[in-house]
Amino acid sequence: MDVTITPPSEPFPGTVHPTDGGGILLSTLDDVINWARSNSLWPLVFGTSCCAIEMMSTAAAKYDFSRFGFEVARATPRQADVIIIAGTIVNKMAPVLKRLFDQMPDPKYVIAMGACATSGGPFFYNTYSVVKGADHVIPVDVYVAGCPPRPEALLHALITLQEKIKSGYTRDQIRTEMKPDVK
Amino acid sequence: MSNEELISKLQELLPEATLQQGNDFVELTIDSQQLLPVLNLLKSSSDLSFNFLFCETCVDWKTHFTMVYHLDSTHYRHNVVIKTNLNRELPEIETACHLYRTAELHEREIFDLFGIKFLNHPHLRRILLTDEWVGYPLRKDYEDPINMIKL
Ligand code: SF4
């Protein structure tokens, strides 16, 4: 599914009309707000297992997701914009995850990182304790495949989330109106 | 003490136990009634001095359970594994937590997941699962039609 509305090369949503001594910028408030929001997403410090190690390495010097505006990891959900579900969600963790999500202020976004958060992954069969996908508990915006996903994959997911925000569509609009044509 | 020396020493001390050299450790198989006397001996004997229980776990063989104790000596840095079989109908064994305090935690976990009853344990309750949980999930015959998708 292609959710690209603002091409990533475009620096600012709007058009500039050159005038003498400068220019006039034409845009809509919604676009500007979405643009600002998408470039300053504060993730919640949340990691339940091995995927969290990859998330930490994405945050560290080599991959450095602060290049895209994700550097301010918050230890409280009340100040976070995005929760990266990095790891296995077990039945006992599910109510905690729900509460964390509920405590985050709107607008809030969710990334399901790795096979566990997407579907239960390696714990799909023959286990009594693992939730088979975090989307049974909270709605998910972007899924990342992998066990664990490489930092590049997480970066791609973060950028995809930014484009999703910039597009200005709701989750339902993307699901229904932007369905790719299935032949 | 090297493993060979350990085997001969243990043979001397415990003539009725079966000894075997495993991949890394010397393995000692005993009767479950003998657990406390054997642990006591291994801990108090001055040239063995097994003063650290670094792992305690259980195995379900479908026909019986095996309790496995890994002991280490912080003075001599030698290890031994103690194994003892339990009856599947009435899995009961004396607690080791009066000799090794760390066993308290391990035994609660084993009780939680395997349902082994540790006699004289100070507070044998579930530790990881909720109190109202029915059954013991790490047993091979555990069924959970709601949460478990069978392969
Ligand atoms: S998807 Fe793989 S790496 Fe990630 S939490 Fe699950 S088991 Fe660990």
B108-131 confidence digits (pLDDT tens):
999 999 999 999 999 999 999 888
Which stretch of DSSP H or E encloses residue A37? helix A29-38
- pTM of the complete model: 0.80
pLDDT computed for residue A72 by the predictor: 86
Nearest alpha carbon, ligand 1 atom 6? A116
pLDDT computed for residue A31 by the predictor: 86
- Domains identified in chain B and CATH numbers: 3-102 (3.30.460.80)
pLDDT for residue A1 is more than 70: no
Contacts of A126 in chain B (CB under 8 A): 148-151
Rounded CA separation A136/B101 (Å): 41
Cβ–Cβ pairs < 8 A, chains A and B: 20
pLDDT computed for residue A180 by the predictor: 63
The average pLDDT across A110-132 equals: 91
Residues 6+ positions from B143 with CB-CB distance below 8 Å: B135
Contacts of B137 in chain A (CB under 8 A): 128-129
pLDDT computed for residue A71 by the predictor: 81
- Report in angstroms the alpha-carbon separations of A20 from A12, A15, A27: 21, 16, 20
The pLDDT tens digits of the residues spanning A27-84 come to 888 888 888 888 889 999 899 999 999 999 999 999 988 888 888 888 999 999 999 9
Rounded CA separation B20/B4 (Å): 10
Mean pLDDT of chain B: 90
pLDDT class of A3 with cuts at 50, 70, 90: low
- Provide residues of B within 8 Å CB-CB of chain A: 130, 137, 142, 144, 147-151
- The neighbour count for residue A14, using CB atoms within 10 Å, is 14
How far apart are the CA of A133 and the centre of ligand 1, in A?
A: 12
Residue A58 in contact with residue A67, Cβ under 8 Å?
no
**B148·A127 Cβ contact <8 A:** yes
pLDDT computed for residue B86 by the predictor: 93
The pLDDT tens digits of the residues spanning B9-50 come to 888 888 888 888 888 899 999 999 989 999 999 999 888 899
How far apart are the CA of A89 and the centre of ligand 1, in A?
A: 10
The pLDDT tens digits of the residues spanning A131-166 come to 999 989 999 989 999 999 999 999 999 998 888 888
Task: Tell the residue number behind the tokens 């415990």, with chain if given.
Answer: B14
pLDDT computed for residue A18 by the predictor: 84
Pairing type for strands B79-87 and B92-94 reads unpaired
- The neighbour count for residue A64, using CB atoms within 10 Å, is 15
For chain B, give the percent of residues with pLDDT over 70.
100
Q: Does A156 touch chain B (CB under 8 A)?
A: no
